[in-house]
Structure 1
Amino acid sequence: MDLLTDEQKNEFQTCFQQFDKDLDGRLNPKESVMALKSLGVNLPESEVSAGTDFNSFLQVVVRKLQITDPADELQRAFNCFDLEGTGFVAVQYIRQVLTSMGDILNGQEIDQFIRDCDTDNDGYISSAEATKIILSKLS
């Protein structure tokens, strides 16, 4: 997995964990398909093995994805949190996830990120809103 940066590995691990409903470190075929779909990889359940561990999951991701465009990476990261597939994530959920990640962002930075991304103040962040803000801060 030398092809992936630590940041990418963390992104994929977060996604894996979001779909590991029973927290056993393995995904059943349905969980695997949903996790992979959130990353833009569409595979039928018949092509996914039962009891997929994180390393096997990473191998599929690396084989199926060519990571080049930062906007695509952000979209895949966003999809890990959009468990319903609606294109939106509740502000409360984003706040909870960012707070639980430790010292990556402090409370004030989280509040600012949410204010920046939830431009219409509807309590939801869209993929487009988040991608636009994050890309603007990276440039």
Structure 2
Amino acid sequence: MKLSARSRYAARLLLDLAMHEADKPIRTALLSENTGITVQFIEQIIRPLKKAGLIKSVRGAAGGHILDKDPAHITLGEIVRTMEGAINIANCLECETKCERSQACRTRSVWERASRAMEQELDSITLAELLESPEDCPNMD
């Protein structure tokens, strides 16, 4: 499984918002400058993040985007699920009907365990932790 740019950029965007004052919205243009993500891509990423309650947008001259949840309560797992859906390393895990062999598949349980392990690891890492130790993830790409 390879994470999409949407998930990686969403994490980068949320981390940038977390690094700034919680009471001051950040404009999309400044987010773009800070993260290296185009304004157009940021606008695409923001929609699902708002719907998930991770960020909110403020209108007006001093408007922009701001975290709507404490960084200590936002995990990488939540970000990935928001942007990608379920965390599965194999397509056959998404729907029983996709593979006619799913009932008798000897490897399916291995892919399930690996997917859950990945999900648990991503759920164990919060934005707050990433703020405390940025050297662990210099580029988040």
Fold in common (TM above 0.5) = no
RCO comparison, higher one (Cα < 8 Å, 6+): 2
TM-score by length of 1: 0.31
- Structure number with bigger Rg: 2
TM-score by length of 2: 0.30
